[in-house]
Amino acid sequence: MNDYIPWQAEIVDIDIESPNTYLISLKPLEDVDFSYKPGQFVMVSVFGLGECPISITSSPTREALQLCVRRAGRITSGIMDSRVGDVLGIRGPCGNGFPLERMKRDILIAGGGSGFATLRSLINYIVDRRSDFGEVAVAYGARTTRDLYFMQEYKSWQQSGVEVGITVDIGDESWKGNVGLVTSLMDKFRLPPGSAAICGPPVMINAVASKLMERGFDHSEIYVSMERHMKCGVGKCEHCNIGPYHTCQDGPVFSYDKVKSVL
Amino acid sequence: MKVLLPKRNLHLLLEALDHRMEVVAPIRAEGVPVFASWRGQPLALASNPLIPPQEFLLPQRDVLFRYVQDCGRYTFEKVSAKPRLIFGIRPCDLKAVAVLDRIFGKDPLDNPYFDRRRSTVLVGLNCLWPEPGCSCAAFGAGPEVDELSDLQLTDLGKNYLVETGSPAGVLILREHPEFFIEASEKDQAEKKKALRIAGEKLRGGTSPSVIKAAIEKADWDALGRQCLRCGGCTFVCPICHCFTIIDVGVPDGERLRCRDTCILSGFSRMTSGVNPRKSQGERLRNWFLDKFEYIPENIGLLGCVGCGRCSRSCLAEIDRQKLEVLR
């Protein structure tokens, strides 16, 4: 049952990930039954401005609920102009999340730009349940070094045996790493064909998916987190439909074979 | 239960019902029939209003809740639905309510919709006067009321034959016996005859299979260029239910649900400016596919009842049955 009434969460911490992206930690003010899966999202309210979908950036294996918010429009600006101690309204979790119970143990995770925010939930989940998974590799690309998120965490991922490749479109003098597309990182990975989780711009998703299929990944094992305009989050308002699917209910995670015609 | 309601008693019955709930009925406003709050005006039952009664289940301005701020924390107030009776709903619009019930009833159930739905009594009117462009019969949505309504009326000349469809309908007959007289087998036969004649008038109209075939063949670019992007077809459709949600008021205010339309370009456009349905042709195609493929796939009922309102209201004269540009 759905009343559209959010619960309230207090902002307890704000980290700056990039000049226009904050990582916001929240603590529910009420005793709410809130359990979620990597890949799900919440509808976030700034009362007076409205409500928008934000993917959950934290892993359910850790205590804090974290949202990575990029200044994009009216409501995200409202969220980012909030201060520690302010409250946001939350509805959710919404959507299906990554089908961890169905996915193979060897997983490639590929993120482009702000799409990486939702994948951090999955990566930290895997890191915390490392023995449940096999070979895991992360390929992440951002526009410039200033746009790279979660830099302080790459080392801990590597220490848990996750292969991490980072690339930027435009390098600078301080950057010793890879410059180029996300796909250019993937040749180095020794990962056997397994499952994949991708989030990023459509061009990047297609490029990564075709590379994976060349390497023997099945298109139904490539999971893509899709972005759509959303209003209700419960499959009624029709803003987010992809054919017969409602991205907010049947997605945002779809297997590549279901959505490649719209990418 | 079957009884007769003499036509001279109809106003008296509505007046009696008006004491305990808002009565909505087709009346004339500025010369055209509309469903509106009834205040004793003459009823306009000869043709189905262009704006469907769905306005009273999914209003243009629907308060989802009120938010009240105190020291940076909020409390929320729900708005409860008022009892209402909608009189004179045609079978096509009743069928559309059945479709909306399934869409809004699909998990997670939409509580604001069902709050209003549960406090609404529906009085159906069997459709003996199909109009040009009506094709309910081929869509399984008329001319006879076959579901949902609490009371069903059939115009038999001097009287209405009244049949009950729910306990709420039975209650109305029991509470107001003074307005009704006994019905006979003859009245039942008369109803059947009238509906048979109406059914014959509906023969030869369009059908879902005709439209499905047209969707396959249509030149969507051409239709998109012809479309004036007024959204009229979606606002007169009894099944269209696209909505947006906005906040009005700082620091206290209301979160509103307002009708929206998927055939306008801003509907699917994301904050980044990227729009998954870039052209008007793609948006029109999505609208048709939703009704004839996506809604059936999701809830098992067609997303169109053949009421013909979209064709009648199309300023660009797009023939929605053949999906051709007419001029």
- The string of pLDDT tens digits covering residues A213-252 is 999 999 999 999 999 999 999 999 999 999 999 999 999 9
CB contact under 8 A, B65 and A4: yes
Count of alpha carbons within 13 Å of B221, Cβ hemisphere only? 0
d(CA B135, CA B213): 17
Among A48, A76, A237, the residue with its CB nearest the CB of B244 is: A237
d(CA B204, CA B235): 27
Contacts of B268 (CB under 8 A, 6+ apart): A228, A229, A239, A240, B262, B275, B276, B277, B283
pLDDT at B146: 75
Residues of B in contact with A237 (CB under 8 A): 242-245, 260
pLDDT at A16: 95
State yes or no: pLDDT of B283 exceeds 80.
Answer: yes
Across the range A112-127, mean pLDDT stands at 97
Structure tokens at B321: 């049955």
CB contact under 8 A, A236 and B243: yes
Q: Which 3 state secondary structure label does DSSP give B208?
A: helix
CB contact under 8 A, A49 and B260: no
Chain A, 141-160: which have a CB under 8 Å from a chain B CB?
none
d(CA B122, CA B119): 10
A252: nearest Cα among A199, A208, A214:
A199
- What's the gap in Å between the CA of B132 and the closest CA on chain A? 31
pLDDT at B67: 97
Residues of B in contact with A240 (CB under 8 A): 268
Among B104, B249, B268, the residue with its CB nearest the CB of A229 is: B268
Q: Match 């020291």 to its residue by tokens.
A: B71
Give the relative orientation of helices B208-217 and B280-289 as an angle to the nearest 10 degrees.
150
- What's the gap in Å between the CA of A260 and the closest CA on chain B? 13
Name which of A7, A32, A47, A55 to mutate to probe chain B: the one with the most chain B Cβ atoms within 10 A of its Cβ.
A47
Instruction: Give the pLDDT confidence of B135-168 residue by residue, as tens digits.
Output: 898 998 988 887 779 999 999 999 999 999 999 9
0.90 cut: is pTM over it?
yes
State yes or no: pLDDT of A22 exceeds 70.
Answer: yes
CB contact under 8 A, B241 and A236: yes
CB contact under 8 A, A237 and B249: no
State yes or no: pLDDT of A98 exceeds 70.
Answer: yes
pLDDT at B148: 77
Instruction: Give the pLDDT confidence of A49-91 residue by residue, as tens digits.
Output: 999 999 999 999 999 999 999 999 999 999 999 999 999 999 9
Interface confidence (ipTM) of the complex: 0.92
- What's the gap in Å between the CA of A199 and the closest CA on chain B? 16
- Delimit the domains of chain B by residue range: 2-201, 208-325
Chain A with chain B: Cβ pairs closer than 8 A: 110
Across the range B303-309, mean pLDDT stands at 94
State yes or no: pLDDT of B236 exceeds 60.
Answer: yes
Q: Is A32 within 8 Å of chain B by CB? A: no
- What's the gap in Å between the CA of A233 and the closest CA on chain B? 10
Residue B326: pLDDT band (50, 70, 90) is low
Q: What is the mean pLDDT of chain B?
A: 93
Please state whether beta strands B2-6 and B181-182 pair in parallel, antiparallel, or not at all (unpaired): antiparallel
CB contact under 8 A, A228 and B270: yes
Q: Which residues of chain A form CATH 3.40.50.80?
A: 107-262
Alpha helix stretches (DSSP H) within chain B: 7-18, 91-105, 111-118, 167-175, 185-201, 208-217, 220-226, 232-235, 280-289, 295-299, 309-313
pLDDT at A211: 94
CA B20 to chain centre: 24
Q: Is A77 within 8 Å of chain B by CB? A: no
**Domain spanning A7-94: which superfamily?**
Translation factors (2.40.30.10)
- Which of the listed CATH numbers 3.40.50.80, 3.30.750.24, 3.40.50.800, 2.40.50.140 matches domain A107-262? 3.40.50.80
Q: Which residues of chain A form CATH 2.40.30.10?
A: 7-94
Handedness of CA B103, B107, B111, B114 (dihedral sign): positive
Contacts of B137 (CB under 8 A, 6+ apart): B143, B199, B202, B203, B205, B306
Q: Is B73 within 8 Å of chain A by CB? A: yes
